[in-house]
Structure 1
Amino acid sequence: MKIIGRLKFLFQKEKQIIMNVFGSFFVKGASMLLSLFTMPAYMRFFENDAVLGIWFTMLSVLNWIIMFDFGIGNGLRNKLAVTLYNGEKEKSQEYISSAYVSIAGVAVLIGLLYMVMQYFLNWNSILNVSMDSISSSTLRQSMNIIIIGILFRFVVGLSNSILYAMQKSALNNFLVLITNFLIYIYVLCAPNNTPEKNLLNLSFAQSILSNVPLLFVTFYLFLKPLKEMAPNLKKFKKTSAFEVLNIGVNLLWLQVVAMIVLTTHPFLITRLVGPQQVVEYNIYYRIYTTIASILSLALTPIWSAVTKAQGQKNYNWIKKLYGLLLIFPVITIALDLLMLPVLQIFFDFWLGNGSIRVNASAVIVMTIFSALYVLHNVNTSVNNGLSYFKFQNIFMSLAALLMIPASIYFCMLMGNWTGVILACCVVILPYELVQPWVTMKYLSKIENQNSTISEQLY
């Protein structure tokens, strides 16, 4: 009954969140169907598990680069959520213009640095790829193509932050679905060449198709709903840029340490046990994180909604919301256990009979990881919305320091890729358990302070 009461309370206070959640669930359902077809398509396209493992590792490494935007996107998201709600069009335009100028400068700077550094980078060594599989020149060309695409995405990707600030998170998920669908169509229809030619062609496709939907939305936003707030070089303000960066730098650091802990898995598996095992990891990862991601969809609009509620000093609403969201990891474990009896049947249907056998240690480790993954998203969504970073910084920084040595130890212990995932679970567990207690205490303290101030005024 308490849960039903909280749901009614939240629905009355913020119907837009509920609409975004339902929209996101619909889109994610389509994404799940698409992912079922994408993995077999990739396996047919490359035919060689080692090369496919290289591709997945490349994508994970290059996704790290997206993090290095000095947190400008997330800083804009937090600031813009308040100014848009208050109807401050001029201030909103200053934040938007300052963010676009800053991110363009970051993209140019990274591009120039990479132009110099590329001659000193041995990607075959970095990715643990034999030259018999992919030549150094081909691998360098592929990395160059994707990095150019990512630098362009730095700029057009700010439209994501704006949509979040407008509390249109379902549309963000729809853009991801469109991109993945376009890439799936390419992989399905592209002519099959040599592994090296396939890698180069897919690099081109990835760079172009990941940017087209974002470019379209950018033009739409500033020609229609935000026409009066379109980026303008004359509206660039150093103070606005620093305000965005002040929050952004904290978020950037948290992104970097979270990246080390949560998104370096393919790279660490490649280095510690070989690229071939990245394929099996990806199979389990896609299944278990899909279940976790479905629940995490409800968290997509939470960040900006919490920022808005904080501006309204509605801390009681935030506490009730947080309490409800903390149930999500338990639901994740229940769904994972329900899936277990049919997992082998699903593998055979999805990838072909005998393509992969259910691994007990993989199932246990991925079940724990998916629950912690959801809990991590709950904690970060609420605390990032509050701009409350203290304990995140401490615990996640420590987790990042321990991730690599823990992975080495557990890979030696387990003898396969599950050691990396187990290491991840161990290092993030302290943060996930401590943060809810700390945040609830923090919210109660602020709520009491505001009540005292109100009593003194009246």
Structure 2
Amino acid sequence: MSQKKKNLLDILKKRFLKSGSKRGEGLKKNILGLLALRGVDVGVSYLRFPLTLKFLGTELHGVWLTLGGIINWFSFFNVGLGTGLRNKLAEALAKNEISLARSYVSSTYAIIGIISLIMFLLLGGSVFVLNWPKILAVPDTYKSMLAATLLIVFSFFSMRFVLKLVSTILVADQRPAVSQAIRSIASVIFFIGIWLALKYRIMYGNLVMIGVLSSGSVLLVQIAASIILFSKRYRHIRPSLRFIDWHKFKSLASIGVQFFIVQISVIIMFSTDNIIISQITGPEDVVPYNVARKYFGIVEMLFLIVLEPFWSAFTQAYTKKEYSWIRKSIKQLLFLWGLSVVGSLIMLSLSGWVYEIWIGDMVSVPLRLSVLMMFFYMIKSWNNVFVYLINGVGKIRMQLYMSLIIAVINIPLSIFFAKNLEMGSSGVILGTIVCLSFGAILHPIQYKRIINGTARGIWNQ
């Protein structure tokens, strides 16, 4: 290893991993655990992508990616109760109030269970009421295949919607690496399934098989994790009918509702792109868009591994008025962001070569799309440095209002660039970049006001 590389590793270790404090040690363990597991997850995801593309073909793969984006919309429809449970459960466990903790867990499972049932009825009914071939921009000949796929995916999703609360409990208990392990194991099972289906040509080219493998793998692991964790480590707080307290809904949803509204705007901004591209240029163009997104998303994934544990750490430090630690941490994260920018530029220079090795001649990704996708992740990561601090201290009112504005303008702006300026999928991501630019200016301002004690009005709410 060269001396230059050694110096860089020494800098990173000094800035992020060497700490004798309890908070620092906890961050280190979480970062290292998440790094290893996310590495597995991403590696499997990138290996699986060309296999799925080969199994389905370009058109049906574009349909699958678009359908996945639609499913993601509903994954946030817990009215912020997941965020509320994480905060309330962490507080109750810290105070060793086991009965209160179990009440929060039981009540959340009950409320989410009701929401899940309603969602299943609505989504299941939509299969027979809505014209899904038209929504997904495919011929009517796919109608029966789409109906079967949607029924399977919606059914499994409704059950997963409840069972994924076990991951929220793990995060509240400061065990995000275990939560990530659940997702990683499911990802590996999905990969093995699609590899076997492709090798033995099981339902080759059929969307139903992908729906079963994708949704079923996650559901299977969540069921196993829930049984194991609630019979052992979390036996004392496992859900119980006699611990359900409907009055807990208000406290669980207090700040959670605000986060929910923010999440809805995020869904609109990040999950409608595939549909817009399908409607304007066809489902085939969804594939190169997602190839570029997956490729440049590697840098953000690595960045978020370091950033993720800081949310709760910022909450604790702000409560204890350890402002110097917060300032130092933000500087460290901005240093890391600078490294991610350098990494993104290197990835851009290598993108054509990587695409050729990874996807071959199945998909062509325009250089303009790669450049814009790189800028998208650079701005998004910049925003996240400050958003994690703002979310951690619970002062999200300005973010809430800004999210509502962005939710209104994002889709028409993306359509304008894509259609009127004839930029296609590049125009869609450009519209998102413009929307993110508001936060790139306002979030750092709010951070400085909060940390300097000069935040007033909406900046401090």
Provide TM-score, normalisation by structure 1.
Answer: 0.90
Whether 1:164 aligns to 2:171 is yes
One of 176, 180, 192 as aligned partner of 2:187? 180
Partner of 2:6: none
Q: Structure 1 200/302 Cα, relative in aligned 2: closer, same or farther at 3 Å?
A: same
Partner of 2:311: 303
- Paired with 1:31 and 1:417, the residues of 2 have a C-alpha distance of 27
Q: Structure 1 11/214 Cα, relative in aligned 2: closer, same or farther at 3 Å?
A: farther
- Paired with 2:432 and 2:19, the residues of 1 have a C-alpha distance of 33
One of 407, 425, 448 as aligned partner of 2:414? 407
Partner of 1:453: none
Letter in 1 for 2:118: L
One of 240, 243, 267 as aligned partner of 1:232? 240
SS at 1:14's partner residue? helix
Give the CA deviation at 1:179.
1.4
Q: Is the 8 A contact 2:288 2:365 kept in 1?
A: no
Letter in 2 for 1:99: T
After TM superposition, the structure 1 = structure 2 runs for residues 380-391 of structure 1, keeping only pairs within 5 Å, are: 380-391=387-398
- Paired with 2:11 and 2:356, the residues of 1 have a C-alpha distance of 42
One of 394, 412, 424 as aligned partner of 1:416? 424
- Paired with 1:276 and 1:447, the residues of 2 have a C-alpha distance of 48
Give the CA deviation at 1:324.
2.6
Whether 1:75 aligns to 2:84 is yes
Letter in 2 for 1:227: R
Partner of 1:366: 373
SS at 1:237's partner residue? coil
- Range with greater deviation from structure 2 (284-293 or 235-244): 235-244
Letter in 1 for 2:123: Y
Give the CA deviation at 1:423.
0.5
Q: Is the 8 A contact 1:55 1:199 kept in 2?
A: yes
Partner of 2:341: 333
Q: Deviations over 1:366-418 (max 9, x none)?
A: 11011122223333322222222111111111111111111111113243211
Q: Structure 1 11/427 Cα, relative in aligned 2: closer, same or farther at 3 Å?
A: farther
Q: Structure 1 313/228 Cα, relative in aligned 2: closer, same or farther at 3 Å?
A: farther
Q: Deviations over 1:110-138 (max 9, x none)?
A: 22333444432111121222224x2x232
Partner of 1:442: 450
Q: Is the 8 A contact 2:37 2:180 kept in 1?
A: yes
- Range with greater deviation from structure 2 (300-309 or 181-190): 300-309
- Paired with 2:204 and 2:406, the residues of 1 have a C-alpha distance of 37
Partner of 1:60: 69
Give the CA deviation at 1:202.
1.6
Partner of 1:254: 262
Partner of 1:456: none
Q: Is the 8 A contact 1:148 1:207 kept in 2?
A: no
Whether 1:189 aligns to 2:189 is no
Q: Structure 1 306/223 Cα, relative in aligned 2: closer, same or farther at 3 Å?
A: farther
Give the CA deviation at 1:9.
8.5
Give the CA deviation at 1:32.
3.1
Give the CA deviation at 1:239.
3.3
Q: Deviations over 1:149-169 (max 9, x none)?
A: 111011110011111111211
Q: Deviations over 1:57-84 (max 9, x none)?
A: 1111111111111111111112222222
Q: Structure 1 436/119 Cα, relative in aligned 2: closer, same or farther at 3 Å?
A: same
Partner of 2:350: 342
Partner of 1:22: 32
After TM superposition, the structure 1 = structure 2 runs for residues 81-120 of structure 1, keeping only pairs within 5 Å, are: 81-120=90-129
SS at 1:211's partner residue? helix
Partner of 1:433: 441
SS at 2:233's partner residue? coil
- Range with greater deviation from structure 2 (298-307 or 390-399): 298-307
Q: Structure 1 6/291 Cα, relative in aligned 2: closer, same or farther at 3 Å?
A: closer
- Paired with 1:341 and 1:422, the residues of 2 have a C-alpha distance of 20
One of 203, 221, 231 as aligned partner of 1:223? 231
User: CA RMSD of the aligned region, Å?
Assistant: 2.5
Whether 1:49 aligns to 2:58 is yes
Q: Is the 8 A contact 1:182 1:209 kept in 2?
A: yes
Give the CA deviation at 1:4.
8.4
Q: Provide structure 2 residue ranges, at least 5 long, that are not aligned to the other structure.
A: 1-9, 457-461
Partner of 2:5: none
Q: Is the 8 A contact 2:292 2:373 kept in 1?
A: yes
Whether 1:37 aligns to 2:37 is no
SS at 2:453's partner residue? helix
One of 220, 225, 233 as aligned partner of 1:212? 220
Larger RCO (alpha carbons 8 Å, 6+ apart): 1
- Range with greater deviation from structure 2 (155-164 or 167-176): 167-176
Partner of 1:123: 132
- Figure out how many residues of one structure are paired with residues of the other and give that number: 443
- Range with greater deviation from structure 2 (51-60 or 72-81): 72-81
Letter in 1 for 2:88: K
Letter in 2 for 1:238: W
Q: Structure 1 309/221 Cα, relative in aligned 2: closer, same or farther at 3 Å?
A: farther
Q: Is the 8 A contact 2:31 2:306 kept in 1?
A: yes
Letter in 2 for 1:398: I
Letter in 2 for 1:42: T
Q: Is the 8 A contact 2:382 2:440 kept in 1?
A: yes
- Paired with 1:6 and 1:298, the residues of 2 have a C-alpha distance of 11
SS at 2:395's partner residue? coil
Give the CA deviation at 1:195.
6.4
Q: Structure 1 283/325 Cα, relative in aligned 2: closer, same or farther at 3 Å?
A: same
SS at 1:388's partner residue? coil
- Paired with 1:30 and 1:435, the residues of 2 have a C-alpha distance of 32
Q: Deviations over 1:262-298 (max 9, x none)?
A: 2222122112221001111111111101221111111
Q: Structure 1 151/314 Cα, relative in aligned 2: closer, same or farther at 3 Å?
A: farther
- Range with greater deviation from structure 2 (164-173 or 286-295): 164-173
Partner of 1:245: 253
Q: Deviations over 1:280-338 (max 9, x none)?
A: 11111111012211111112222233334344444443343233323443322210111
Q: Is the 8 A contact 2:262 2:399 kept in 1?
A: yes
Q: Provide structure 1 residue ranges, at least 5 long, that are not aligned to the other structure.
A: 449-458
- Paired with 2:328 and 2:352, the residues of 1 have a C-alpha distance of 39
- Paired with 1:189 and 1:8, the residues of 2 have a C-alpha distance of 40
Q: Deviations over 1:212-258 (max 9, x none)?
A: 22222222222222221111222222332211111221111111001
